[in-house]
Amino acid sequence: MAELTSTRSPRVKAARRLTKRAFRDRDRAFLAEGPQAVREALTLDDVTVELFATAEAETRHPDIVGAALAAGVPVHRASGEVMADLTQTITPQGILAVCRFVHVPLAEAIRPGTRLVALLAHVRDPGNAGTVLRTADAAGADAVVFTDASVDPYNGKCVRASAGSLFHLPVATGASVAHAVRQAKEAGLRVLAADGAGTVTLDEVDLARPTAWLFGNEAWGLPPELLELADEVVRVPIYGRAESLNLATAAAVCLYSSARVQRENLSSVEDPTTSPR
């Protein structure tokens, strides 16, 4: 396999421009960096367009290279200089894929039967957004919605922070917060806004019902006009002296609390002899 050694190569330049949102939107493609993200991308049909890997990464991750070749995905060996030019991390892991967009329409992400959803409203930090996506996946959520004023889920830092979860559950983008909330309510979900000024605490609210959690901006939270869209505004109780929780932590607490109660409720329905703790 011939090694790509020039950062001016047309193939390298075409991939590198996907670090810019305008080119991602135009090409409907993005970069997935690191073995975890690439491995998960390859589990989906017709998502991975091409793979770049250093010789060292090929040796370290033969399963990934083998999976790409088996799927008919072109694999390009890249020099360290080329890989450093393509990646956005200080210490590249030597493997990167060009992938097609994977988001779905809002009506497909939130529909009757959906039980747990994260709605991101004006979330701007890609690391936080990716972490919420990863947390939602881990909590067994059905979907994550990036509303129109939130960060691009295909931002490199967001993709890395999701640790492959971008490829695991439905992600919708581009809808307004009002549209996303309306879709959730029409699908039978109750919308709970997570906010420090909540009238009830997480300990007091009924979490057994299908729920869409609305999370706001890292710095200013949810403005009044968005809080009014929710069925209830809920605060995470602070038992110690910390002033507040950051977005990703608050989202983890809320999503896992809902997931735990929903799973316990489902278990008690399936086995009437079992009572929720």
Question: What is the per-residue pLDDT across 172-184, written as a single tens digit (0 to 9) for each?
Answer: 999 999 999 999 9
Q: How far apart are CA 249 and CA 135, in angstroms?
A: 9
In a domain, 54, yes or no: yes
254 with 201: CB under 8 angstroms?
A: no
Question: Are 144 and 246 within one domain?
Answer: yes
Torsion, Cα of 151, 133, 247, 120 (10° steps) = 50
Q: Which among 11, 184, 23, 179 has a CA at the least distance from the CA of 101? A: 23
Residue 275's pLDDT is 46
Same-domain pairing of 193 and 230: yes
Q: Residue 197 is part of which domain span?
A: 106-270
Percent of the chain's residues with pLDDT above 90: 86
Rounded average pLDDT over 119-135: 96
Domain boundary, last residue among 83, 100, 117: 100
* Claim to verify: residue 90 and residue 136 sit in the same structural domain: no
CB contact at 8 A, 102 and 166: yes
Look at residue 276 and tell me whether its pLDDT is greater than 60. no
Say if residue 87 is in the same domain as residue 114: no
Spacing of C-alpha 187 from chain mean position: 21
Report pLDDT for 269: 59
Identify the CATH number of the domain in which residue 252 sits: 3.40.1280.10
Domain boundary among 71, 100, 129: 100
Does 275 map to a domain? no
Mean pLDDT for the chain? 93
- Convert the pLDDT of each residue in 228-255 to its tens digit: 999 999 999 999 988 888 999 999 999 9
The answer as to whether 149 is a domain residue is yes
Residue with tokens 């690439």: 38
Quote the pLDDT of residue 268.
67
- Within the chain, what is the greatest distance between any pair of CA atoms? 67
Contacts (Cβ under 8 Å, ≥6 apart) of 184? 110, 117, 119, 191, 212
Q: What is the pLDDT of residues 142-154, one digit of tens each?
A: 999 999 999 999 9
Local confidence band at 97 (pLDDT 50, 70, 90 cut-offs): very high
Q: Is residue 276 part of a domain?
A: no
Report the CATH number at residue 31: 3.30.1330.30
The closest of 77, 80, 75, 78 to 98, measured between CA atoms, is 75
pLDDT of residue 134: 97
Residues 45 and 8 placed together within one structural domain of the fold: yes
Q: Are residues 82 and 155 in the same domain?
A: no
67 and 124 share one domain: no
pLDDT of residue 69 exceeding 70, the answer is yes
pLDDT in tens, 38-68: 999 999 999 999 999 999 999 999 999 999 9
In the block, which residue shows the tokens 């990863």? 134
277 part of a folded domain: no
Q: If pLDDT is split at 50, 70 and 90, which confidence band does 277 have?
A: very low
Please state at what angle helix 247-270 crosses helix 126-138, rounded to 10 degrees. Answer: 10
Give pLDDT, residue 244: 85
Residue 159 and residue 84 share a domain: no
Q: Are residues 159 and 45 in the same domain?
A: no
117 and 250 in a single domain? The answer is yes
* 195 residue type, one letter: D
Q: What is the pTM of this model?
A: 0.91
Q: What is the pLDDT of residue 273?
A: 55
Count of structural domains, the chain? 2
Instruction: State whether 121 and 96 are in the same domain.
Output: no
User: Which of 100, 121, 156 marks a domain boundary?
Assistant: 100
